[in-house]
Amino acid sequence: MVPDMAKRAKNRLQAVGNSENIRTNILNIRKSRGLTQEDVAKRIGITQSLYSAYERGRLGISAEMLAQISVALKAASDEILGISHQEDTESIDGRLIRRLKKIEALPVHQRRALITNIDMFLKGVANPKGEGTASLEEEECG
């Protein structure tokens, strides 16, 4: 029985650290964080084209580079290696994340006006007949 368990563990470990899986995980994590290749490359201190070569598999990723990419993406190395991943969390489009960062940088009065407009738009889409009057902020808070 023990040899069978060792064989299953060995097979499972072979998939962990697979360079194709690592590259795919890095790409997916980068996009989920709303980052461009240039953003990550700047954080690491390399050119975008060099980072692209790592992400596309034209260059092998050393342990040191993997650690640097992990820090740049603010992702656990386990997540990059595919050892643990959060399947229950919903993925947010990277474009939305970039836009949210721009909205956060706006002055408070502009941000409030924009959020009010977004709330009104979403109410109209969700409830075209205008039924119910609670704002989305009220719904989220209470």
Do 15 and 70 lie in one domain? The reply is yes
Q: What SS3 state is found at 67?
A: helix
Q: 91 vs 82, which has greater pLDDT?
A: 82
Q: What is the pLDDT of residue 91?
A: 62
CA neighbours closer than 13 Å in the CB half-sphere of residue 139 = 8
Do 75 and 117 lie in one domain? The reply is no
**Mean pLDDT of the residues in the chain:** 78
93 CB-contact burial (10 Å; exposed 0-12 / middle 13-18 / buried 19+): exposed
**91 lies in a domain?**
no
Tally of structural domains, the chain: 2
Range of the domain at 113: 106-141
**11 lies in a domain?**
yes
Q: What is the pLDDT of residue 3?
A: 52
Do 111 and 62 lie in one domain? The reply is no
**100 lies in a domain?**
no
pLDDT at 81 over 90: no
Do 77 and 112 lie in one domain? The reply is no
Q: Which amino acid is at 102?
A: K
Do 19 and 76 lie in one domain? The reply is yes
Q: 102 vs 18, which has greater pLDDT?
A: 102
Number of DSSP helices (H) and strands (E) in the chain, helices first: 9, 0
Q: What is the pLDDT of residue 77?
A: 85
Do 22 and 74 lie in one domain? The reply is yes
Q: What is the pLDDT of residue 4?
A: 52
Mean pLDDT on 98-121: 90
7-26: pLDDT as tens digits: 444 444 444 456 788 899 99
- Go through 1-35 and write b for each residue having 16 or more CB atoms within 10 A of its CB, e for each that does not: eeeeeeeeeeeeeeeeeeeeebbebbeebbbbbbb
